[in-house]
Structure 1
Amino acid sequence: AAWNLRPADLDRLGLRASVEDLATMLCSQLGIPCEMDLDALSNPLPAETALTLYRVAQEALTNIGKHAQPSRVSVTAHIQDDRMRLTIEDDGRGFDGRADPGPGHLGLAGMRERLALVGGELTVESATMKGTTVYADVPLAH
């Protein structure tokens, strides 16, 4: 149910600062460097799309904190062909992207479903010991 609550930070700070805060918090907890390039998130997005990107970032960063044991994390956003792409990457343990991740990874299915509701899509690339990259693509507002 918390999934559906709108974070106060998102309304107060906007998407870019909110995602920066999530990443900064995780990286300081893990004591690792965090590369960020989130200028593109300053572009206006429909409220539901912004919330979805925020939740995807939150879920991906939570997964990194729980499972990845990375030495660095990168969170970037850029615009291409009227689409916004949020990329969250770590160099941690990764997982076999071909295997069924099992019940512990319901987060990926949830992210995929949420993105589909706003016309977006989720791509996850991971390999054991090679880290994980999560791409969330959404259409820009017109």
Structure 2
Amino acid sequence: MFMAVVARPQFDENGIELFSGKIGIFPFVVKEPAKRNSKNRTAGTLETKPIISVTKDITRACLIEKVLPAIRSKWPASDSNIPIFIQQDNARPHIGVNDLEFVEAAQKDGFDIRLCFQPPNNPDLNVLDLGFFRAIQSLQYQRLLQMLMN
């Protein structure tokens, strides 16, 4: 599982890109030492393993330790005083908008970063449906056309 963070790109009055909108993709993984030797590695070598069950605590840690620093490093400094909203869908492992640890971490360095939830059943505001799933659907149609032509 991954947490993808994107924003609207920003351009100046001449159309020059100030900010691409690409912030980062953060995997939910943990590094653990290998328990046994194998032909591929020795015991004790760090292995990257997926986190099987993402909880509120894991989500909070990802937001505070990975997402917030990435936003602060990539966001245009001229817009750091404008509120930045992180929109979450309504999945259970997401933290509440008034989570004390997140709010405290989000207010550092002069930034005003806030959480909000995606309105339920509103396709106009659902970034996943508008962008990601449409891209997948177009790839599916391309593949179908390739299969029919062969």
Higher relative contact order, structure no. (Cα contacts within 8 Å, ≥ 6 residues apart)? 1
Q: What TM-score do you get using the length of structure 2 for normalisation?
A: 0.25
Q: TM-score, normalised by structure 1?
A: 0.25
- Which of structures 1 and 2 has the bigger CA Rg? 2
